[in-house]
A and B are shown apart, each in its own frame.
Chain A
Amino acid sequence: MNMMAETTLEPKQAQAMNEPVYKMIGNKVSVFYGTKQALFEVSLPVREKTVTALIGPSGCGKSTFLRSLNRMNDTIDNCRVTGQITLDGQDIYDPSIDVVELRARVGMVFQKPNPFPKSIYENVAYGPKIHGLARNKADLDQIVETSLIKAGLWNEVKDRLHEAGTGLSGGQQQRLCIARAVAVSPEVILMDEPCSALDPIATAKVEELIHELRSNFTIVIVTHSMQQAARVSQRTAMFHLGNLVEENDTDKIFTNPDESRTQDYIMGRFG
């Protein structure tokens, strides 16, 4: 394992780039499943209101890193995280931080659309309800509508809000899940290969949506497709075998990466 290849954050370098604002920062994050180490001291900053794409061959740890950003790894038995991840400067693994509060601020969209077996309305209203974000029914209706509009789904479903969410097409289901995440008004949205189960047309719609969401949310997206990373993201991080190979502007990564491994991957030599 080449530990030397990982990038560490150089503050001076960071400040030189148009004063970027970092929403989340991972510092030497390692993840273990039992005795097996899946992630090796990854340090990666996530810029605010930017789409950061995590790419790399399968099994490279990109999903593991993503899931540690809102502590979804906690739900896996015998999973252990070391290192530090901060959200607005606060360590999210600090005992004083509450995981529920964290996840309300860092939402997540999963690989396979997973709407609850409830109505479309109930799916979107679920988050606001459990967090008590709406004062009354009208408020809740408003949140549901705005979220569905933001997710670009409103026009398609406004007449059948009380039908089952599971009855929608795959692409619609995934946008419903995005609407569900948006409804909680998180600050960061994590997306774990959100288009891998979708057809090209639905994929295009979701990508378009990600573009729009960027103005309000910080987005981290794991993707298998380099074209998608190139299309939707501003920053790209390349993972390989549990290590972060490099992280840079998307344009730079795809045209002139610093690392030969990134180059090889992008040229399709492995992966």
Chain B
Amino acid sequence: MSDAVTLTGMPAQARRDIGIKRRYAAERRFRAYGIIAMAVGLFFLAALIFSVVSKGYTAFVQTTITLPIEFTEKDVDPDNKRGENPAVLAQGDFAKLIKQGLAKRLGFDPSDRKSAKLATAMISDSARTDLRDMLVADPSLVGKTVNVSLLAEGNIDSANKGQIDLSVPEARRKVKDKQLEWMKTLRDAGDLTKAFNTGLFTNGASSRPEAAGLGVAAMGSLFMMVTVFVLSLPIGVAASIYLEEFAPKNRLTDLIEVNINNLAAVPSIVYGLLGLSIFINFAGMPRSAALVGGLVLTLMTLPTIIIATRASLKAVPPSIRSAALGLGASKMQTIFHHVLPLAMPGILTGTIIGLAHALGETAPLLLIGMVAFVADFPATPLEPSTALPVQIYMWANEAERAFTERTSGAIIVLLTFLILMNLGAILLRRRFERRW
């Protein structure tokens, strides 16, 4: 029925040429640039994740070799003194025990030095301390033969995971043909196995990649995160409440505001210099201590927390304040009873993101001496320790192939923590987000 009306319409005005074709080409080009840019960004993300994961996922399993170890009395306690002093057991010749175990298992003559050398090279140096600890814990083992799972040496581990190119001539290979042959024997008998690598999470620093772990670093990071959380949340919230709710608008508060925004953008290494000069040099705190690291990271995180807290305080509508004030609550009561609880989800979200940032921070920790070879767990935040990202840095500087795997594995662990924290922040925001 609209046809009837259309008949009365004017003939279309002579079409102007407004360059539609050309303009749409430009439009498509521009759009394509945007898509390409996004794709490039996402490609890099994918490349990075892929690079780390493909190199690192094997770090979570570790090759072990099970050997029949006989704790022969003449090797571990030649003078038979363990009755009076069990500590002599720690002085035993455990390398020899391993060699004998290997000889028995692989069937070569222990006096054949060439074979013995090749065979013992398959077992990590850390196996000796493992045997020692085992024996000291249970002196009744003397004279007995036990099947013990020992850590394989890093190169054997790599070979077992198929990471070593076997087409290379033997002379230029770190794993020799003889060793490969033994590996096959052991594997077929079920004595060379891959198991979940608990050592990665429980061990401290070690110069042997197969025995190096993140335990000490994780403990240091935990101490630091607790310090940062305990200090920066209350201080940050207090500062934000003052600035947002009480501070008169004058030059001083303006200066503080500019200052906070600037501090949020100061390079992290500058905080390291600050920590070195104030906490260690001036206040005489110990180097390499998690407490100092925590303090430095607190100073670094505070601006982020203050900015997030102020934003969430600002988002609480003034009507809430008026309502409480109208009932005769003091300003302080209004804020602590009403405004702050409502702003809390936002504050916590900001804090978690700040903490996640602090957890991944490396540069300032290098300057306060956390680049340290720490094999023992710190009992207090004042003892030397290291941190997850610093451990990654130290491993990244190691040349050995097996350390690259460890580094990637450590990065996966660190990223998992960070993603969990960020997810927590996102969930918190979703769960409690309010629209006023």
Interface residues of A (CB under 8 A from B): 9, 11, 14-15, 19-23, 25, 27, 45, 48, 84, 86, 88-90, 98, 100-101, 104-105, 130-133, 185, 187
Contacts and interface: CB of A to CB of B under 8 A. Distances in A.
Interface of B: 1-2, 4-6, 8-13, 16-20, 23-24
Contacts of A185: 16
A180 to B, nearest CB: 16
Contacts of A130: 23
A198 to B, nearest CB: 29
A20 B2 CA distance: 14
Given A98-B20, A132-B19, A133-B18, A45 B5 contact: yes
B1 A22 contact: no
Q: What does DSSP make chain A's interface, helix, strand, loop or mixed?
A: mixed
Contact of A22 (B5, B11, B12, B24): B5
5 contacts: A9-B1, A15-B8, A21-B9, A88-B11, A132-B19
Given A9-B1, A11-B4, A22 B9 contact: yes
B5 A11 contact: yes
B20 A101 contact: yes
Nearest to B17: A132
Contacts of A15: 4, 8
A11 B1 contact: yes
A27 B12 contact: no
A264 B164 CA distance: 89
B4 to A, nearest CB: 4
A86 B2 contact: yes
Given A22-B9, A131-B18, A187-B13, 19 more contacts: A9-B1, A11-B4, A14-B5, A15-B4, A15-B8, A19-B8, A21-B10, A22-B5, A23-B9, A45-B5, A84-B2, A88-B9, A88-B11, A89-B9, A98-B20, A100-B23, A104-B18, A130-B23, A132-B17
A100 B24 CA distance: 9
Contact of B2 (A23, A27, A100): A27
Contacts of A27: 2
A185 B6 CA distance: 23
Contacts of B8: 15, 19-22
A27 B4 CA distance: 13
A84 B12 CA distance: 18
Contacts of A133: 16, 18
Contacts of B13: 88, 105, 187
Contacts of B6: 22, 25, 86, 89
Contact of B19 (A86, A105, A131): A131
A130 B18 CA distance: 8
Given A100-B20, A133-B16, A88 B2 contact: no
B12 A25 contact: no
A21 B8 CA distance: 6
